[in-house]
Structure 1
Amino acid sequence: MDATSWDRDPVRRSQGIVWRDLVLAVGLVGICVAGLMLFFKAAQTAGSRGSGVAAAVLVALGALAVLSVGFSAAKRSVASFWVRGHERSHPRYDLAAAPLAPPAPDVDGEALDHAGVDADGFEHTVAALCARDGCTPVEVVGGAGDLGADVIAVTTDGLRVVIQCKHYGPDNRVGSQDLQRFGGTCFTIHEADVAVMVTTSSFTAPAIDYAATCGIICVDGDALAAWTDQVTPAPWEAETAAPQTEPTLIADTLDLSRP
Protein backbone atom coordinates (compact mmCIF):
# COMPACT_ATOMS: atom_id res chain seq x y z
CA MET A 1 0.00 0.00 0.00
CA ASP A 2 1.38 3.42 -0.89
CA ALA A 3 1.55 6.34 1.49
CA THR A 4 -1.76 7.90 0.41
CA SER A 5 -3.92 4.92 -0.53
CA TRP A 6 -5.56 4.81 2.90
CA ASP A 7 -7.09 8.25 2.28
CA ARG A 8 -8.72 7.66 -1.13
CA ASP A 9 -12.13 6.24 -0.06
CA PRO A 10 -12.81 9.06 2.42
CA VAL A 11 -12.01 11.54 -0.35
CA ARG A 12 -14.62 9.95 -2.65
CA ARG A 13 -17.23 10.05 0.14
CA SER A 14 -16.35 13.63 0.97
CA GLN A 15 -16.96 14.69 -2.65
CA GLY A 16 -20.57 13.47 -2.42
CA ILE A 17 -21.06 15.32 0.86
CA VAL A 18 -19.70 18.53 -0.60
CA TRP A 19 -22.05 18.44 -3.61
CA ARG A 20 -25.00 17.67 -1.33
CA ASP A 21 -24.16 20.69 0.84
CA LEU A 22 -23.83 22.92 -2.21
CA VAL A 23 -27.23 21.84 -3.56
CA LEU A 24 -28.78 22.52 -0.14
CA ALA A 25 -27.15 25.94 0.01
CA VAL A 26 -28.42 26.86 -3.45
CA GLY A 27 -31.91 25.74 -2.48
CA LEU A 28 -31.85 27.85 0.68
CA VAL A 29 -30.70 30.88 -1.28
CA GLY A 30 -33.58 30.33 -3.69
CA ILE A 31 -36.01 30.23 -0.79
CA CYS A 32 -34.53 33.47 0.51
CA VAL A 33 -34.98 35.14 -2.86
CA ALA A 34 -38.60 33.95 -3.01
CA GLY A 35 -39.16 35.25 0.52
CA LEU A 36 -37.81 38.66 -0.41
CA MET A 37 -40.10 38.79 -3.43
CA LEU A 38 -43.02 37.89 -1.18
CA PHE A 39 -41.94 40.60 1.24
CA PHE A 40 -41.93 43.27 -1.45
CA LYS A 41 -45.33 42.13 -2.67
CA ALA A 42 -46.71 42.22 0.87
CA ALA A 43 -45.21 45.67 1.39
CA GLN A 44 -46.97 46.94 -1.71
CA THR A 45 -50.22 45.47 -0.48
CA ALA A 46 -49.66 47.03 2.95
CA GLY A 47 -49.19 50.40 1.31
CA SER A 48 -52.66 50.20 -0.21
CA ARG A 49 -54.32 48.59 2.83
CA GLY A 50 -53.34 49.52 6.38
CA SER A 51 -54.47 46.12 7.69
CA GLY A 52 -51.62 44.40 5.81
CA VAL A 53 -48.80 46.01 7.82
CA ALA A 54 -48.61 43.24 10.42
CA ALA A 55 -48.52 40.56 7.75
CA ALA A 56 -45.74 42.39 5.91
CA VAL A 57 -43.67 42.60 9.10
CA LEU A 58 -44.06 38.87 9.73
CA VAL A 59 -43.10 38.05 6.15
CA ALA A 60 -40.02 40.30 6.42
CA LEU A 61 -38.88 38.64 9.65
CA GLY A 62 -39.36 35.20 8.13
CA ALA A 63 -37.40 36.17 5.03
CA LEU A 64 -34.53 37.50 7.12
CA ALA A 65 -34.42 34.31 9.18
CA VAL A 66 -34.36 32.13 6.09
CA LEU A 67 -31.70 34.36 4.52
CA SER A 68 -29.49 34.07 7.61
CA VAL A 69 -29.78 30.28 7.65
CA GLY A 70 -29.04 30.09 3.94
CA PHE A 71 -25.91 32.22 4.15
CA SER A 72 -24.64 30.23 7.15
CA ALA A 73 -25.12 26.93 5.33
CA ALA A 74 -23.47 28.27 2.19
CA LYS A 75 -20.50 29.53 4.22
CA ARG A 76 -20.05 26.15 5.90
CA SER A 77 -20.31 24.35 2.56
CA VAL A 78 -17.71 26.55 0.88
CA ALA A 79 -15.36 26.21 3.85
CA SER A 80 -15.82 22.44 3.86
CA PHE A 81 -15.19 22.31 0.12
CA TRP A 82 -11.95 24.32 0.48
CA VAL A 83 -10.63 22.18 3.36
CA ARG A 84 -11.32 18.92 1.55
CA GLY A 85 -9.74 20.25 -1.64
CA HIS A 86 -6.68 21.33 0.34
CA GLU A 87 -6.37 17.86 1.87
CA ARG A 88 -6.56 16.25 -1.58
CA SER A 89 -3.82 18.52 -2.97
CA HIS A 90 -1.67 18.06 0.16
CA PRO A 91 -1.95 14.34 1.01
CA ARG A 92 -1.05 13.22 4.49
CA TYR A 93 1.79 10.82 5.02
CA ASP A 94 2.43 8.40 7.80
CA LEU A 95 5.66 9.77 9.22
CA ALA A 96 6.00 6.81 11.56
CA ALA A 97 6.27 4.51 8.55
CA ALA A 98 8.91 6.64 6.78
CA PRO A 99 12.30 4.94 6.56
CA LEU A 100 14.92 6.24 8.97
CA ALA A 101 18.27 7.52 7.75
CA PRO A 102 21.03 4.95 8.20
CA PRO A 103 23.36 5.62 11.12
CA ALA A 104 26.65 7.30 10.36
CA PRO A 105 29.46 4.75 9.99
CA ASP A 106 32.25 4.59 12.54
CA VAL A 107 35.40 6.32 11.36
CA ASP A 108 38.37 4.75 13.09
CA GLY A 109 41.43 2.67 12.35
CA GLU A 110 39.34 -0.33 11.34
CA ALA A 111 37.06 1.65 9.03
CA LEU A 112 39.80 3.69 7.34
CA ASP A 113 42.75 2.11 5.59
CA HIS A 114 44.92 5.02 4.50
CA ALA A 115 47.56 2.75 3.02
CA GLY A 116 45.03 0.66 1.13
CA VAL A 117 43.64 3.50 -1.00
CA ASP A 118 45.15 5.51 -3.83
CA ALA A 119 46.07 9.19 -3.69
CA ASP A 120 42.52 10.35 -4.43
CA GLY A 121 41.08 7.95 -1.87
CA PHE A 122 43.55 9.22 0.72
CA GLU A 123 42.12 12.72 0.36
CA HIS A 124 38.68 11.32 1.17
CA THR A 125 39.87 9.35 4.21
CA VAL A 126 41.49 12.49 5.61
CA ALA A 127 38.29 14.44 4.91
CA ALA A 128 36.36 11.75 6.79
CA LEU A 129 38.58 12.31 9.83
CA CYS A 130 37.87 16.05 9.69
CA ALA A 131 34.12 15.43 9.55
CA ARG A 132 34.34 12.94 12.41
CA ASP A 133 36.10 15.50 14.57
CA GLY A 134 33.35 18.08 14.10
CA CYS A 135 34.40 20.07 11.05
CA THR A 136 31.63 21.36 8.82
CA PRO A 137 31.65 21.91 5.95
CA VAL A 138 34.40 19.61 4.70
CA GLU A 139 35.35 19.73 1.02
CA VAL A 140 37.70 17.57 -1.01
CA VAL A 141 39.14 20.02 -3.55
CA GLY A 142 42.22 18.16 -4.76
CA GLY A 143 42.87 17.78 -8.45
CA ALA A 144 44.29 19.71 -11.36
CA GLY A 145 44.67 23.37 -10.48
CA ASP A 146 44.06 22.88 -6.75
CA LEU A 147 47.06 25.11 -5.92
CA GLY A 148 48.18 22.83 -3.13
CA ALA A 149 44.90 22.31 -1.27
CA ASP A 150 43.38 18.83 -1.15
CA VAL A 151 40.94 19.20 1.76
CA ILE A 152 39.40 22.37 3.18
CA ALA A 153 37.45 22.16 6.44
CA VAL A 154 36.01 24.55 9.01
CA THR A 155 36.35 23.60 12.68
CA THR A 156 33.72 24.06 15.37
CA ASP A 157 35.65 27.18 16.44
CA GLY A 158 35.38 28.62 12.94
CA LEU A 159 39.00 28.00 11.95
CA ARG A 160 39.63 27.39 8.26
CA VAL A 161 41.86 24.32 7.93
CA VAL A 162 43.68 23.74 4.64
CA ILE A 163 45.21 20.28 4.23
CA GLN A 164 47.52 18.84 1.63
CA CYS A 165 47.68 15.05 1.45
CA LYS A 166 50.78 13.12 0.36
CA HIS A 167 50.07 9.44 -0.21
CA TYR A 168 53.66 8.19 -0.29
CA GLY A 169 55.26 4.83 0.32
CA PRO A 170 57.46 4.33 3.39
CA ASP A 171 60.65 4.93 1.40
CA ASN A 172 59.41 8.16 -0.20
CA ARG A 173 59.70 10.96 2.33
CA VAL A 174 58.08 14.38 1.99
CA GLY A 175 60.81 16.90 1.15
CA SER A 176 61.21 20.62 1.64
CA GLN A 177 60.15 21.37 -1.94
CA ASP A 178 56.71 19.87 -1.20
CA LEU A 179 56.43 22.11 1.86
CA GLN A 180 57.62 25.17 -0.05
CA ARG A 181 54.99 24.75 -2.75
CA PHE A 182 52.28 24.27 -0.14
CA GLY A 183 53.57 27.14 1.99
CA GLY A 184 53.37 29.49 -0.97
CA THR A 185 49.59 29.03 -1.38
CA CYS A 186 48.02 27.74 1.84
CA PHE A 187 47.86 31.12 3.59
CA THR A 188 47.91 33.66 0.76
CA ILE A 189 45.68 31.86 -1.74
CA HIS A 190 43.53 29.56 0.40
CA GLU A 191 43.42 31.89 3.44
CA ALA A 192 44.16 29.13 5.92
CA ASP A 193 43.94 29.72 9.65
CA VAL A 194 45.60 26.33 10.10
CA ALA A 195 47.73 24.67 7.40
CA VAL A 196 48.40 20.93 7.66
CA MET A 197 50.51 18.56 5.58
CA VAL A 198 49.48 14.92 6.07
CA THR A 199 51.40 11.95 4.72
CA THR A 200 51.39 8.19 5.04
CA SER A 201 55.19 8.38 5.04
CA SER A 202 57.52 10.78 6.90
CA PHE A 203 59.23 14.15 6.48
CA THR A 204 62.83 15.05 5.83
CA ALA A 205 64.59 17.31 8.31
CA PRO A 206 64.72 20.26 5.87
CA ALA A 207 60.98 19.88 5.29
CA ILE A 208 60.30 20.05 9.02
CA ASP A 209 62.54 23.11 9.36
CA TYR A 210 60.72 24.90 6.55
CA ALA A 211 57.33 24.01 8.03
CA ALA A 212 58.41 25.57 11.30
CA THR A 213 59.24 28.87 9.63
CA CYS A 214 55.81 28.98 7.96
CA GLY A 215 53.72 27.58 10.82
CA ILE A 216 52.64 24.49 8.88
CA ILE A 217 51.66 21.42 10.92
CA CYS A 218 53.28 18.20 9.73
CA VAL A 219 51.45 14.90 10.34
CA ASP A 220 53.48 11.82 9.43
CA GLY A 221 52.33 8.21 9.16
CA ASP A 222 52.59 7.46 12.89
CA ALA A 223 50.78 10.65 13.85
CA LEU A 224 48.11 9.93 11.24
CA ALA A 225 47.49 6.48 12.74
CA ALA A 226 47.20 8.00 16.22
CA TRP A 227 44.76 10.64 14.96
CA THR A 228 42.70 8.01 13.15
CA ASP A 229 42.52 5.80 16.26
CA GLN A 230 41.65 8.86 18.40
CA VAL A 231 44.75 8.37 20.52
CA THR A 232 45.54 12.05 19.93
CA PRO A 233 43.28 15.00 19.10
CA ALA A 234 42.96 16.46 15.65
CA PRO A 235 46.06 18.34 14.45
CA TRP A 236 44.43 21.76 14.74
CA GLU A 237 43.31 20.99 18.29
CA ALA A 238 46.77 19.80 19.32
CA GLU A 239 48.32 22.95 17.89
CA THR A 240 45.82 25.20 19.67
CA ALA A 241 46.26 23.40 22.99
CA ALA A 242 50.08 23.44 22.86
CA PRO A 243 51.57 26.16 20.64
CA GLN A 244 55.11 25.34 19.61
CA THR A 245 58.15 27.49 18.92
CA GLU A 246 60.14 24.53 17.62
CA PRO A 247 59.43 22.74 14.31
CA THR A 248 55.85 21.46 14.45
CA LEU A 249 55.84 17.74 13.86
CA ILE A 250 52.85 16.12 15.51
CA ALA A 251 54.60 12.76 15.72
CA ASP A 252 57.25 14.30 17.99
CA THR A 253 54.59 15.11 20.59
CA LEU A 254 53.23 11.56 20.80
CA ASP A 255 54.04 8.97 23.40
CA LEU A 256 53.45 5.98 21.15
CA SER A 257 54.50 3.60 23.92
CA ARG A 258 51.11 4.14 25.57
CA PRO A 259 48.54 1.42 25.00
Structure 2
Amino acid sequence: MAVPARARRTARRPRRFELRATALYFALLAVIIALVGAAARTAAAAAVHRPAWAAALALMGVGAAMAGCRGKRRISAARIVRRSAEALDEATQTAVEALDAASPAPAVDLAPAGAGACSGRLGTEPTVLLPEAVPEAPADTVEIAYEALDPDEFEQAVAELCRRDGCLDVDVVGGAGDLGADVVARTPDGRSVVIQCKRYCDGNRVGSQDLQRFGGTCFTVHGADVAVVVTTSDFTAPALDYAEQCGIVCVDGPQLRRWQEGAGPRPWEAQSSAG
Protein backbone atom coordinates (compact mmCIF):
# COMPACT_ATOMS: atom_id res chain seq x y z
CA MET A 1 0.00 0.00 0.00
CA ALA A 2 1.43 3.21 -1.10
CA VAL A 3 1.59 6.08 1.43
CA PRO A 4 0.88 9.44 -0.06
CA ALA A 5 3.67 11.81 0.31
CA ARG A 6 3.06 14.95 2.40
CA ALA A 7 3.40 18.21 0.75
CA ARG A 8 6.31 20.12 2.01
CA ARG A 9 5.78 23.50 3.52
CA THR A 10 7.48 26.20 1.75
CA ALA A 11 9.85 28.14 3.91
CA ARG A 12 8.68 31.67 4.81
CA ARG A 13 10.69 34.34 3.46
CA PRO A 14 12.02 36.78 6.05
CA ARG A 15 10.32 40.12 5.93
CA ARG A 16 12.35 43.03 5.01
CA PHE A 17 12.75 45.95 7.38
CA GLU A 18 10.34 48.71 6.47
CA LEU A 19 10.78 52.07 8.14
CA ARG A 20 7.23 53.19 7.44
CA ALA A 21 5.60 50.14 9.04
CA THR A 22 7.89 50.28 12.04
CA ALA A 23 7.10 53.98 12.65
CA LEU A 24 3.37 53.33 12.26
CA TYR A 25 3.58 50.45 14.75
CA PHE A 26 5.31 52.50 17.38
CA ALA A 27 2.91 55.42 16.79
CA LEU A 28 -0.09 53.15 17.33
CA LEU A 29 1.57 51.66 20.42
CA ALA A 30 2.14 55.17 21.83
CA VAL A 31 -1.50 56.08 21.20
CA ILE A 32 -2.67 52.91 22.91
CA ILE A 33 -0.37 53.55 25.90
CA ALA A 34 -1.61 57.15 26.13
CA LEU A 35 -5.22 55.99 26.03
CA VAL A 36 -4.55 53.38 28.67
CA GLY A 37 -2.83 55.98 30.87
CA ALA A 38 -5.69 58.44 30.43
CA ALA A 39 -8.17 55.70 31.24
CA ALA A 40 -6.16 54.79 34.33
CA ARG A 41 -6.05 58.41 35.51
CA THR A 42 -9.77 58.77 34.88
CA ALA A 43 -10.44 55.55 36.77
CA ALA A 44 -8.27 56.73 39.69
CA ALA A 45 -10.08 60.09 39.81
CA ALA A 46 -13.46 58.36 39.62
CA ALA A 47 -12.43 55.99 42.40
CA VAL A 48 -11.63 58.97 44.62
CA HIS A 49 -14.64 61.15 43.82
CA ARG A 50 -17.20 58.58 42.63
CA PRO A 51 -16.46 55.20 44.20
CA ALA A 52 -19.79 53.81 43.03
CA TRP A 53 -18.98 54.47 39.37
CA ALA A 54 -15.49 52.99 39.83
CA ALA A 55 -17.03 49.85 41.28
CA ALA A 56 -19.36 49.58 38.29
CA LEU A 57 -16.48 49.94 35.81
CA ALA A 58 -14.46 47.35 37.74
CA LEU A 59 -17.36 44.93 37.55
CA MET A 60 -17.59 45.47 33.81
CA GLY A 61 -13.84 44.84 33.44
CA VAL A 62 -14.00 41.68 35.51
CA GLY A 63 -16.90 40.45 33.41
CA ALA A 64 -15.01 41.09 30.19
CA ALA A 65 -11.92 39.29 31.52
CA MET A 66 -13.95 36.29 32.60
CA ALA A 67 -15.58 36.16 29.18
CA GLY A 68 -12.18 36.12 27.48
CA CYS A 69 -10.67 33.49 29.80
CA ARG A 70 -13.44 30.89 29.72
CA GLY A 71 -12.49 29.63 26.27
CA LYS A 72 -15.16 27.38 24.86
CA ARG A 73 -17.90 28.51 27.27
CA ARG A 74 -19.70 31.39 25.71
CA ILE A 75 -21.24 34.23 27.63
CA SER A 76 -23.92 35.93 25.68
CA ALA A 77 -23.66 39.64 25.08
CA ALA A 78 -27.21 40.13 26.34
CA ARG A 79 -26.30 38.66 29.74
CA ILE A 80 -23.24 40.90 30.01
CA VAL A 81 -25.29 43.94 29.10
CA ARG A 82 -27.99 43.00 31.64
CA ARG A 83 -25.48 42.51 34.45
CA SER A 84 -23.73 45.72 33.54
CA ALA A 85 -27.05 47.55 33.58
CA GLU A 86 -27.88 46.11 37.03
CA ALA A 87 -24.48 47.14 38.32
CA LEU A 88 -24.94 50.63 36.91
CA ASP A 89 -28.41 50.85 38.48
CA GLU A 90 -27.04 49.84 41.90
CA ALA A 91 -24.18 52.29 41.52
CA THR A 92 -26.61 55.05 40.58
CA GLN A 93 -28.82 54.34 43.63
CA THR A 94 -25.76 54.30 45.88
CA ALA A 95 -24.55 57.60 44.46
CA VAL A 96 -27.99 59.21 44.89
CA GLU A 97 -28.24 58.04 48.51
CA ALA A 98 -24.73 59.31 49.21
CA LEU A 99 -25.57 62.69 47.72
CA ASP A 100 -28.81 62.90 49.73
CA ALA A 101 -26.98 62.07 52.95
CA ALA A 102 -24.23 64.59 52.24
CA SER A 103 -26.54 67.47 51.25
CA PRO A 104 -27.60 69.67 54.24
CA ALA A 105 -31.25 69.77 55.23
CA PRO A 106 -33.06 72.96 54.17
CA ALA A 107 -33.50 75.48 56.94
CA VAL A 108 -37.09 75.77 58.11
CA ASP A 109 -38.24 79.21 59.22
CA LEU A 110 -40.36 78.72 62.32
CA ALA A 111 -41.16 82.39 62.65
CA PRO A 112 -44.87 83.14 62.16
CA ALA A 113 -45.96 85.02 59.11
CA GLY A 114 -45.62 88.75 59.52
CA ALA A 115 -43.21 88.48 62.46
CA GLY A 116 -40.55 90.47 60.60
CA ALA A 117 -43.04 93.19 59.74
CA CYS A 118 -44.21 93.46 63.34
CA SER A 119 -40.68 93.78 64.69
CA GLY A 120 -39.64 96.26 62.03
CA ARG A 121 -36.58 94.20 60.97
CA LEU A 122 -36.25 91.11 58.81
CA GLY A 123 -34.41 88.11 60.20
CA THR A 124 -34.92 89.00 63.84
CA GLU A 125 -36.49 86.72 66.37
CA PRO A 126 -40.29 86.98 66.57
CA THR A 127 -41.64 88.93 69.47
CA VAL A 128 -43.99 86.90 71.62
CA LEU A 129 -46.71 89.04 73.10
CA LEU A 130 -47.85 87.69 76.43
CA PRO A 131 -51.20 88.70 77.89
CA GLU A 132 -50.85 91.43 80.42
CA ALA A 133 -51.50 90.38 83.98
CA VAL A 134 -54.61 92.02 85.31
CA PRO A 135 -54.02 92.95 88.94
CA GLU A 136 -56.66 91.75 91.29
CA ALA A 137 -58.47 94.33 93.30
CA PRO A 138 -57.11 94.47 96.85
CA ALA A 139 -59.37 93.34 99.62
CA ASP A 140 -59.62 96.82 101.06
CA THR A 141 -61.29 98.16 97.89
CA VAL A 142 -64.12 95.64 97.98
CA GLU A 143 -67.28 97.37 99.08
CA ILE A 144 -68.74 95.87 102.22
CA ALA A 145 -72.39 96.20 103.16
CA TYR A 146 -71.84 97.10 106.81
CA GLU A 147 -75.61 97.46 107.37
CA ALA A 148 -76.04 93.73 106.63
CA LEU A 149 -73.54 92.67 109.33
CA ASP A 150 -74.49 91.74 112.86
CA PRO A 151 -72.91 93.72 115.76
CA ASP A 152 -70.05 91.25 116.26
CA GLU A 153 -69.23 91.12 112.54
CA PHE A 154 -69.33 94.92 112.40
CA GLU A 155 -66.77 95.17 115.22
CA GLN A 156 -64.51 92.68 113.40
CA ALA A 157 -64.81 94.68 110.17
CA VAL A 158 -63.77 97.91 111.93
CA ALA A 159 -60.82 96.11 113.51
CA GLU A 160 -59.71 94.90 110.05
CA LEU A 161 -59.76 98.50 108.80
CA CYS A 162 -57.43 99.46 111.65
CA ARG A 163 -55.04 96.61 110.82
CA ARG A 164 -55.09 97.50 107.14
CA ASP A 165 -54.08 101.08 107.89
CA GLY A 166 -51.07 100.13 110.01
CA CYS A 167 -52.42 99.99 113.54
CA LEU A 168 -50.75 97.63 115.98
CA ASP A 169 -52.08 95.54 118.87
CA VAL A 170 -55.60 95.61 117.41
CA ASP A 171 -58.07 93.74 119.58
CA VAL A 172 -61.85 93.34 119.69
CA VAL A 173 -62.97 93.67 123.33
CA GLY A 174 -66.68 94.40 122.88
CA GLY A 175 -69.19 92.50 124.98
CA ALA A 176 -70.74 92.53 128.42
CA GLY A 177 -68.83 94.83 130.72
CA ASP A 178 -66.74 96.46 127.99
CA LEU A 179 -67.47 99.95 129.40
CA GLY A 180 -68.04 101.34 125.93
CA ALA A 181 -64.87 99.99 124.28
CA ASP A 182 -65.42 97.61 121.36
CA VAL A 183 -62.06 97.86 119.53
CA VAL A 184 -58.72 98.95 120.99
CA ALA A 185 -55.55 99.53 119.01
CA ARG A 186 -52.35 101.55 118.77
CA THR A 187 -51.76 103.94 115.89
CA PRO A 188 -48.58 103.79 113.79
CA ASP A 189 -47.26 106.81 115.72
CA GLY A 190 -47.90 105.08 119.10
CA ARG A 191 -51.18 106.62 120.29
CA SER A 192 -53.88 104.57 121.96
CA VAL A 193 -57.19 104.29 120.04
CA VAL A 194 -60.51 103.26 121.64
CA ILE A 195 -63.45 102.71 119.25
CA GLN A 196 -67.12 102.14 120.01
CA CYS A 197 -69.11 100.52 117.17
CA LYS A 198 -72.81 101.34 116.62
CA ARG A 199 -74.42 99.26 113.86
CA TYR A 200 -77.70 101.13 113.48
CA CYS A 201 -80.26 101.29 110.70
CA ASP A 202 -80.64 104.46 108.65
CA GLY A 203 -83.62 105.67 110.65
CA ASN A 204 -81.91 105.08 114.01
CA ARG A 205 -79.29 107.74 114.77
CA VAL A 206 -76.72 107.85 117.56
CA GLY A 207 -77.90 110.28 120.25
CA SER A 208 -76.17 112.40 122.87
CA GLN A 209 -76.80 109.83 125.63
CA ASP A 210 -74.70 107.25 123.75
CA LEU A 211 -71.91 109.80 123.42
CA GLN A 212 -72.10 110.74 127.10
CA ARG A 213 -71.81 107.13 128.27
CA PHE A 214 -68.82 106.58 126.01
CA GLY A 215 -67.24 109.90 126.94
CA GLY A 216 -67.34 109.02 130.63
CA THR A 217 -65.14 105.92 130.19
CA CYS A 218 -63.02 106.30 127.03
CA PHE A 219 -60.49 108.70 128.53
CA THR A 220 -60.62 108.02 132.25
CA VAL A 221 -61.06 104.21 132.22
CA HIS A 222 -59.44 103.14 128.94
CA GLY A 223 -56.85 105.92 128.75
CA ALA A 224 -57.60 106.71 125.12
CA ASP A 225 -55.51 109.20 123.21
CA VAL A 226 -58.04 108.99 120.38
CA ALA A 227 -61.72 108.19 121.13
CA VAL A 228 -63.87 107.22 118.12
CA VAL A 229 -67.53 106.33 117.64
CA VAL A 230 -68.27 104.55 114.34
CA THR A 231 -71.82 103.99 113.11
CA THR A 232 -73.54 102.82 109.96
CA SER A 233 -76.20 105.53 110.22
CA ASP A 234 -75.79 109.14 111.51
CA PHE A 235 -75.50 111.30 114.66
CA THR A 236 -77.96 113.72 116.14
CA ALA A 237 -77.00 117.36 116.46
CA PRO A 238 -76.73 117.24 120.30
CA ALA A 239 -74.49 114.18 119.98
CA LEU A 240 -72.19 116.03 117.58
CA ASP A 241 -72.06 119.02 119.93
CA TYR A 242 -71.11 116.84 122.88
CA ALA A 243 -68.47 114.98 120.80
CA GLU A 244 -66.93 118.30 119.75
CA GLN A 245 -66.74 119.47 123.37
CA CYS A 246 -65.12 116.23 124.58
CA GLY A 247 -62.85 115.63 121.58
CA ILE A 248 -64.56 112.45 120.39
CA VAL A 249 -64.25 111.62 116.67
CA CYS A 250 -67.62 110.76 115.08
CA VAL A 251 -67.63 108.58 111.92
CA ASP A 252 -71.04 108.23 110.25
CA GLY A 253 -72.08 105.89 107.39
CA PRO A 254 -70.73 107.97 104.43
CA GLN A 255 -67.48 108.69 106.29
CA LEU A 256 -67.11 104.96 107.07
CA ARG A 257 -67.43 104.10 103.37
CA ARG A 258 -64.79 106.72 102.46
CA TRP A 259 -62.49 105.30 105.13
CA GLN A 260 -63.00 101.82 103.78
CA GLU A 261 -62.32 102.97 100.18
CA GLY A 262 -59.25 104.94 101.24
CA ALA A 263 -60.75 108.20 100.00
CA GLY A 264 -61.24 109.79 103.41
CA PRO A 265 -59.03 110.38 106.45
CA ARG A 266 -58.57 107.73 109.12
CA PRO A 267 -60.21 108.54 112.46
CA TRP A 268 -56.94 109.23 114.27
CA GLU A 269 -55.84 111.47 111.39
CA ALA A 270 -59.12 113.39 111.61
CA GLN A 271 -58.49 114.07 115.29
CA SER A 272 -54.96 115.25 114.52
CA SER A 273 -56.31 117.66 111.90
CA ALA A 274 -58.93 118.94 114.33
CA GLY A 275 -56.38 119.36 117.08
TM-score w.r.t. length of structure 2: 0.49
Matched AA of 2:274: P
Contact 1:107–1:129 (Cα < 8 Å) also in 2: no
3-state DSSP of counterpart to 2:200: coil
Of 211, 232, 240, 2:264 maps to 232
Paired position in structure 2 for 1:162: 194
Alpha-carbon separation, structure 2, partners of 1:123 and 1:177: 21
Q: Does 2:223 align with 1:223? A: no
Query: Aligned Cα RMSD in Å?
Result: 1.4
Shift of 1:243: 1.8
Following superposition, which runs of at least 4 residues in structure 1 exceed 6 angstroms of deviation? none
Q: Which structure has the higher relative contact order (CA within 8 Å, separation 6+)?
A: 1
Q: What residue ranges of structure 2 are gaps of 5+ in the alignment?
A: 1-136
3-state DSSP of counterpart to 1:143: coil
Shift of 1:112: 3.3
Shift of 1:233: 2.3
Quick check: which has more Rg, 1 or 2?
2
Alpha-carbon separation, structure 2, partners of 1:221 and 1:141: 22
Contact 1:109–1:225 (Cα < 8 Å) also in 2: no
Contact 1:196–1:218 (Cα < 8 Å) also in 2: yes
Q: What residue ranges of structure 1 are gaps of 5+ in the alignment?
A: 1-104, 245-259
Q: Does 2:147 align with 1:115? A: yes
Aligned residues: 139
The superposition leaves residues 182-238 of structure 1 with CA deviations (integer Å, 9 ceiling, x where unpaired) of: 000000000000000000000000000010111000000000000000001211012
3-state DSSP of counterpart to 1:198: strand
The superposition leaves residues 3-41 of structure 1 with CA deviations (integer Å, 9 ceiling, x where unpaired) of: xxxxxxxxxxxxxxxxxxxxxxxxxxxxxxxxxxxxxxx
CA 191–107 in structure 1, closer or farther in 2 if over 3 Å, else same:
farther
Shift of 1:129: 0.3
Alpha-carbon separation, structure 2, partners of 1:190 and 1:231: 29
Shift of 1:115: 1.7
Q: Does 2:220 align with 1:195? A: no
Matched AA of 2:188: T
Alpha-carbon separation, structure 2, partners of 1:190 and 1:170: 29
TM-score w.r.t. length of structure 1: 0.52
Q: Does 2:179 align with 1:147? A: yes
Shift of 1:109: 4.6
